[in-house]
């Protein structure tokens, strides 16, 4: 087919607004159990209902939570950790009433907890004591904010007993293999979980209550992520005490770093239950880390310390789970839509058990990003993903440079990955260049970079977005007279600030953006109240 010449920004594209508006399935978690691979999929075509599904060895799919059940929780408002599996049974939070329900595949869900102003998340099954240990959020206190606790739910009666309270927030209650110890993390206002958290371990007494807890890691300026017990009963966790979210092992009273490197093994805990590693036996661990926003999956020999890359075609990986020679995760790349992936750790072979889109797009219309690092204000460096225009049917006229659209992510404590994104490809396939900016304050580049935005939101992020545009103009990649910016939520605030306090951009679009910081600080939910204080 003959390639046509047409002005940048005018190219015809099969990536339409209606295609984007249809939405695609997203995935909120995966689990590997003896009876199959489970995953939680959010369906925009079903009113956003989250459905737990299972796939057996031969790959057939079944729904575990039938209509109208919606497996979502509102703990911390952003949810996460709405499903707990164990012993062939599933426990989940039902979105409309926030009660816990229980179900076995093929049966009808039954309520476990009573009606009330409570929300539940991030559970672990304590089979020996016939209970579920969860994070509970109590919204029945009228004169103050919701109260978060670690609680136990009796599987026979549904009765709830508080095990631990006193901190503003809790996450990751996890049982040691012999059931004698419980670990969990906690933090308090005004800190967010990526600012400072405490990792505790407490003995479980004969009556099921917790004994005196001891702090084994963390602090006001140390963020802990995903504490996990090994099959032998050793506690592992991720900490940023050396400036990067790296892996540690508790040896006696001391945390020992296993893989010191300038890469991120953790993530910002906006949603509960996030996982980036798991144990493949007593001496092997499979983990995901990110470097320059690209995800890498690797196997760590716990005896030798050797890290072996697992070469896969995925550049964005989430929700890693490991069990008996297999790993499962959600993976994507700029050319490959998000999917639930099952990996055989012995052979290295993988298969997609569930995709997010029915019909893949021709790769000739998909732009492939490259990471860029560029100078910004005050001598600092900033980071972004640059997507050049791409359409197999068109090319721009000689001497013309494409217009640029700057994307600003939400959060603002978050980051963009090189994943499949129709919202970007819509523009690049029409002849626009796109730069997706990980401005100062973004995650993925260590603690110092993450803290650049403290008390400087609307300044550092704006400067870095402007600097990204100027850099691409200077490199001769885009037209300096056709620069635009857009963003959602916190990124919408960055967009509006860039338009009001600078003249770099000719146009911009704020999608449900924050526009009044004073109003945000006064009228936000409990988790984000900490962010607004800082």
| Beta strands 404-408; 433-438: pairing state | parallel
Give the distance, in angstroms, between the CA of residue 109 and the centroid of all CA atoms in the same chain.
28
Structural class in CATH, domain 4-16+362-533: alpha beta
All structural domains of the chain with their residue ranges: 4-16+362-533
Sheet holding 339-344, edge to edge: 316-323, 326-332, 339-344, 350-355
CA distance 365 to 343: 29
| Beta strands 160-164; 169-175: pairing state | unpaired
Q: Of 375, 348, 225, 194, nearest to 286 (Cα)?
A: 348
Structure tokens belonging to residue 441: 């304050």
Instruction: Give the three-class secondary structure for 134.
Output: strand
The pLDDT profile of the chain, 534 residues, written as one tens digit per residue, is 789 999 999 999 999 998 888 778 999 999 999 989 999 999 988 888 999 999 987 778 999 999 999 999 999 999 999 999 988 899 999 999 999 999 999 899 999 999 999 999 999 999 999 999 999 999 998 778 999 999 999 999 999 999 999 999 999 999 999 999 999 999 999 999 999 999 999 999 999 999 999 999 999 999 999 999 999 999 999 999 999 999 999 999 899 999 999 999 999 999 999 999 999 999 999 999 999 999 999 999 999 999 999 999 999 999 999 998 999 999 999 999 999 999 999 999 999 999 998 767 899 999 999 999 999 999 999 999 999 999 999 999 999 999 999 999 999 999 999 999 999 999 999 999 999 999 999 999 999 999 999 889 889 999 999 999 999 999 999 999 999 999 999 898 999 999 999 999 999 999 988 877 767 666 676 777 656 444
Q: Residue 140, Cβ neighbours under 10 Å: how many?
A: 9
Indicate the pTM of the whole model.
0.94
């Amino acid at each position: 087919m003959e390639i046509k010449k047409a002005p940048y920004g005018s190219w015809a594209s099969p990536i339409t607004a209606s295609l984007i508006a249809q939405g695609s399935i997203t995935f909120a978690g995966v689990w590997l159990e003896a009876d199959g691979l489970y995953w939680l999929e959010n369906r925009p075509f079903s009113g956003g209902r989250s459905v737990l599904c299972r796939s057996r060895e031969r790959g057939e799919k079944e729904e575990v939570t039938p209509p109208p059940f919606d497996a979502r929780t509102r703990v911390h408002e952003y949810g996460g950790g709405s499903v707990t599996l164990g012993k062939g049974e599933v426990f989940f939070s039902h979105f409309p009433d926030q009660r816990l329900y229980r179900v076995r595949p093929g049966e009808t869900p039954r309520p476990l907890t009573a009606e009330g102003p409570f929300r539940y998340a991030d559970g672990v099954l304590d089979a020996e004591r016939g209970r579920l240990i969860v994070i509970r959020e109590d919204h029945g206190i009228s004169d103050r904010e919701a109260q978060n606790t670690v609680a136990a739910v009796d599987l026979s009666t549904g009765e709830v007993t508080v095990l631990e309270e006193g901190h503003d927030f809790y996450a990751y209650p996890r049982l040691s293999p012999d059931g004698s110890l419980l670990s969990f993390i906690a933090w308090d206002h005004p800190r967010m979980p990526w600012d400072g958290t405490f990792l505790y371990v407490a003995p479980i007494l004969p009556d099921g209550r917790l004994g005196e807890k001891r702090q084994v890691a963390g602090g006001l300026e140390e963020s802990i992520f995903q504490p996990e017990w090994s099959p032998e009963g050793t506690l592992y966790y991720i900490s940023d005490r050396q400036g990067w979210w790296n892996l540690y092992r508790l040896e006696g009273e001391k945390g020992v770093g296993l893989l010191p490197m300038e890469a991120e093994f953790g993530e910002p805990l906006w949603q509960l239950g996030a996982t980036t590693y798991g144990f493949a036996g007593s001496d092997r661990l499979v983990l995901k880390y990110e470097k320059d926003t690209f995800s890498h999956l690797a196997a760590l020999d716990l005896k030798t310390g050797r890290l072996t890359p697992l070469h896969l075609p995925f550049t964005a990986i989430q929700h890693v789970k490991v069990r008996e020679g297999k790993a499962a995760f959600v993976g994507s790349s700029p050319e490959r839509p998000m999917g639930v992936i099952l990996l055989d750790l012995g052979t290295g072979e993988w298969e997609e058990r569930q995709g997010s889109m029915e019909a893949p797009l021709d790769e000739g219309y998909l732009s492939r990003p490259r990471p860029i690092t560029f100078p910004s204000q005050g001598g600092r460096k900033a980071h972004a993903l640059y997507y050049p225009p791409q359409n197999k049917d068109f090319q721009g006229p000689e001497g013309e440079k494409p217009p640029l659209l700057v994307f600003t992510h939400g959060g603002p404590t978050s980051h963009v990955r090189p994943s499949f994104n129709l919202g970007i490809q819509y523009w690049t396939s029409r002849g626009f260049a796109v730069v997706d900016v990980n401005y100062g304050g973004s995650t993925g580049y260590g603690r110092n970079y993450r803290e650049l935005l403290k008390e400087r939101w609307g300044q550092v992020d704006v400067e870095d977005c402007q600097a990204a545009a100027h850099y691409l103009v200077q490199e001769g990649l885009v037209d300096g007279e056709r620069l635009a910016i857009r963003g959602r939520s916190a990124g919408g605030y960055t967009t509006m600030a860039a338009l009001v306090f600078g003249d770099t951009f000719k146009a911009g679009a704020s999608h449900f953006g924050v526009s009044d910081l004073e109003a945000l600080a006064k009228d936000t939910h409990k988790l984000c109240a900490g962010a607004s204080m800082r």
